[in-house]
């Protein structure tokens, strides 16, 4: 989907759009909040668990791409022309990176928009910090699949995803 009111900004969701995409109308017209996480990764370090962890901690997760000629100071992915995005109602945040001068490591940052952009940016930054402290370097999540219709009280996990024929539970290590 196109980010409402932002020509050239494409959001790619694995499944389903936010419940009310119109809440994002004009979100980029709000002031941008920026915060840095203190979380750095080495060049070529695998971050698959980071992407999955973030996607299980926010109501809506997707990837953003932008036409290079439309990247502005207000919005524009870093890296390979895409960014991870978190959406919660009228709040929109995407990840940015800043590389060290030798390009051996990069630190994650968050740019956020919406009525409480600074709080939302800090919330997303805290998710990155938690990943770095508790998930990074572990075996990753525990994933269990249950038959469709299994009641919530019979499923354990940090996030439950309901599909047509199954329910998927995702749990993360606690330390």
Give alpha helix (H) positions in 30-98.
Answer: 48-57
Residue 152 near residue 139, CB atoms below 8 Å: no
The answer to whether residue 48 sits within a structural domain is yes
Statement: residue 150 has pLDDT above 80 = yes
Residue 13 near residue 60, CB atoms below 8 Å: yes
Residue 116 near residue 92, CB atoms below 8 Å: no
Q: Which residues have C-beta within 8 Å of that of residue 163, sequence separation ≥ 6?
A: 148
The answer to whether residue 2 sits within a structural domain is no
What CATH number does the domain containing 46 carry?
3.30.310
Whole domain around residue 151: which residue ranges? Answer: 141-175
Residue 116 near residue 122, CB atoms below 8 Å: no
Global pTM value: 0.88
- Pair (134, 157) in one structural domain: no
- Pair (112, 149) in one structural domain: no
Q: What is the pLDDT of residues 107-132, one digit of tens each?
A: 999 999 999 999 999 999 999 999 99
Number of independent structural domains in the chain = 2
The answer to whether residue 1 sits within a structural domain is no
Query: pLDDT exceeding 70 applies to what percent of the chain?
Result: 93
């Amino acid at each position: 989907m196109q980010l409402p009111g932002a020509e050239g900004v494409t959001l790619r969701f694995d499944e389903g759009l936010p419940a009310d995409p119109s809440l994002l109308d004009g979100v980029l017209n709000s002031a941008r909040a920026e915060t840095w996480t203190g979380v750095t990764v080495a060049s070529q370090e695998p971050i698959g668990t980071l992407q999955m962890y973030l996607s299980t901690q926010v109501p809506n997760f997707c990837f953003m791409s932008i036409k290079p000629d439309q990247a502005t100071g207000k919005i524009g992915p870093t890296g390979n022309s895409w960014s991870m995005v978190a959406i919660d109602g009228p709040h929109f945040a995407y990840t940015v990176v800043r590389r060290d001068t030798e390009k051996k490591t990069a630190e994650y940052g968050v740019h956020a928009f919406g009525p409480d952009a600074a709080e939302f940016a800090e919330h997303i930054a805290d998710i990155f910090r938690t990943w770095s402290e508790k998930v990074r370097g572990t075996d990753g999540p525990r994933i269990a699949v249950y038959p469709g219709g299994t009641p919530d009280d019979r499923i354990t996990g940090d996030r439950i995803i309901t599909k047509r024929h199954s329910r998927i539970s995702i749990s993360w290590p606690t330390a």
